[in-house]
Amino acid sequence: MTVKIRPVKTTDLKILAEAYAKTYKNLAVGEKWTKTSALKFLHYWFKKQPDLSLLAEDRGRIVGAVFTAVKPYWDGNHLFDAELFVQPDYQNQGVGKILLKTVLIKAVKKYQVTVFEAYTFADKKFPLSWYEKIGLKKSKNYVMISGQPKKIISNI
């Protein structure tokens, strides 16, 4: 395997959306991505910060990608809420590490990023175990909360 990392182009988004939907189907984490919903999602991330949208190729085949953005914060710039995925047949071969390392190096150099923040599944061993293995820790200070807007409105 010869992995090359390059910037995502608009023309890559359809292929990446197929890969994203396939990856989540194999993960069985409860997110039911389709090619259409994945395309909208990845387009959103690409528009947010195209220079931090990178993909991995093996002999011309797209095998994974990372999309993320910089958020200014009180203690410096944070790289936040990254979407990192690797096609199932290329997992456990270091592709995710290469993608994450490359985007982190770029963000530190270009934006002086001081913190990397990410969300993952609390009830699944993977990918949490992978993130912990490379040095991320569960935050003791924060918990992700969510709700349905109509219910929230009726409770206010």
**Cβ pair 64, 56 in contact under 8 A:** yes
Banded pLDDT at 128 (limits 50, 70, 90): low
**Number of structural domains found in the chain:** 1
pLDDT of residue 127: 66
Range of the domain at 89: 3-155
Residue closest to 70 by CA, chosen among 93, 87, 45, 33: 45
Neighbours of 95 (CB within 10 A): 23
Banded pLDDT at 132 (limits 50, 70, 90): confident
CATH number of the domain encompassing residue 128:
3.40.630.30
